[in-house]
Every structure is written in C-alpha cells, then in structure tokens.
Amino acid sequence: MSNSTFLAANFPQSKIPNPHPHPHPHPHLDDQTSYSTTHVMAGYDHYHQDFALSKYLPILLELDQPEEHAMSNFTTTASLSQHSTVLQERSSGSSFNSINKVPRNPTHMQVKCRSGLKRVKMDVGCRIAFRTKSDIEIMDDGFKWRKYGKKMVKNSPNPRNYYRCSTQGCNVKKRVERDGEDSSYVITTYEGIHNHESPSMVYCNQMPLSFPTTTAWTLQPSHYSSI
C-alpha cells in the first residue's frame, strides 16, 4: 500500500481541504478531489509547503484516529517532495486531573500531585517539524509571527529562532533553524493549532482561498468574482 493511499483511507475526505479550490496553479490537482497530506503537499512548491503544513496538518491530526496511526502516517511520510520532509508530529496528551491556577507562562499550568503543586507543560494539540530546502529562513505562510527568542543550540553552528503567532489569543509557536548537517535546509517546527484564519485569507464566492499572499497575487484578478 502506498503512503498516499494509506493516508486517504484513514482520513475522512470531507475534512481535508482542497489547497487550490479555483482556479489553482497546479493542473495535476483536480477541483473535485479531496486531499491526503501527501496530496496537499504535492500541490505546493517548496516555498509554500511551510504554509501548507502549518494550515493543513493540524486539521489532519485532529481527526479521530489512534495515536499510533497518526505517528506512523507522518513519520513514514518521509519524502513529501524533493525538498521537504516531515520529521515528527503530534505531542502526547496529558492526563492531569486538576488545574490549579494559570502561571506566568501561558504554555504551562500547575497541577496537584502527591507532593503538592507541580508546573507542567500544557498539551499544545500538535507539533509538526519539517525540513525545507530554502535560501531564506522566513517563508510567508500567511500568518503573522513575532520573534521572542533566539538561542544557540548544541551540535549546531546555527542559532534557533523562536516565533509566536502575533494574533491575540493564539498560542501557536514555531521554531526555525538551519539544519546543522546541511545548512541549505531550514527546519521549521510548528506547535499548536491556529484558532483563527490566516490574515492573508482571500475569499472567492464566499469560500476562503487558502493561499499565502505571494501565491494569491499570481492569479489573474478576473478569476475573483468577489473579494
């Protein structure tokens, strides 16, 4: 069984959006077709896979399926294209029974345990890391990010940059670093799921066109009946 077949069989088709509803710049993707992760990624060039992964993988990962299925799906989807590779995904859930109070850091919470209060990291929903061959580190994925940290990491000559979605109330984060073994690759890790639409969302017939801005601008204005 091929990878794309396996994904398509395990994800309810109706929940997987067409990345290029109409008109789309990739003729091999049919408007009538629903897409698996591999399909979604195949519809993007490597500059826009950053956007596609940040938007669609969280949707795929939210679908009801056993954790081990999700893991095998994405860890074995080793080569989505020549340029991009999914490295890891979803974090495991926590099973603590009592949230006590919100600490300074909104990504953590204090829970009751036998020895008193313990500060634990909250489940962010999903974590996706992928590797993209690119000259630039910051690719336009349609969302607005605010940098909040930079750190040199062990075994890598390149610094790791920390970004947080700048939309109020959205706790999605991403880490960006160049691959220590091959600096022509950028490793991007998304953590969490956006609770809002992309600020660069374009509408066509009241349906959202899910492009990064740069792709949207490549379309002819006459293709939009309303914006």
Q: Which of 152, 224, 164 is nearest to 194 (CA)?
A: 164
According to the binding rule CB under 7 A, does residue 151 interact with DNA?
yes
DSSP string, 116-153: EEEEEEPP-S-EEEEEEE-S-S----SS-EEEEEEEE-
According to the binding rule CB under 7 A, does residue 6 interact with DNA?
no
The sign of the torsion formed by the CA atoms of 114, 115, 116, 120 equals negative
User: Which residues touch 33 (CB under 8 Å, ≥6 apart)?
Assistant: 18, 39
Choices 5-13, 14-22, 78-86, 155-163 (CB under 7 A): range interacting with DNA? 155-163
Among 107, 158, 213, 214, binds DNA (CB under 7 A): 107
According to the binding rule CB under 7 A, does residue 196 interact with DNA?
no
Residues 126 and 89 sit within 8 Å (Cβ to Cβ):
yes
Q: Alpha-carbon distance 74 to 19, whole Å?
A: 19
Among 103, 125, 179, 202, binds DNA (CB under 7 A): 103
What residues from 63 to 102 belong to the interface with DNA (CB under 7 A)?
Answer: none
DSSP 20: S
Among 69, 147, 196, 223, binds DNA (CB under 7 A): 147
Choices 4-12, 14-22, 68-76, 152-160 (CB under 7 A): range interacting with DNA? 152-160
Q: Residue 93, Cβ neighbours under 10 Å: how many?
A: 8
Judged by CB, which is closer to DNA: 61, or 187? 187
**Cβ 107 to DNA, closest distance in Å?**
5
Judged by CB, which is closer to DNA: 53, or 165? 165
Judged by CB, which is closer to DNA: 101, or 104? 104
Q: Alpha-carbon distance 222 to 129, whole Å?
A: 37
What residues from 173 to 192 belong to the interface with DNA (CB under 7 A)?
Answer: 173, 175
Count residues near DNA (CB under 7 A).
27
What residues from 110 to 139 belong to the interface with DNA (CB under 7 A)?
Answer: 118-121
Among 75, 153, 184, 205, binds DNA (CB under 7 A): 153
**Cβ 89 to DNA, closest distance in Å?**
15
**Cβ 147 to DNA, closest distance in Å?**
4
The H or E element that residue 48 is part of is none
Cis peptide before 23 (omega within 30 of 0): yes
3-state DSSP call for residue 61? helix
Binding site for DNA (CB under 7 A): 103-108, 118-121, 144-155, 160, 162, 166, 173, 175
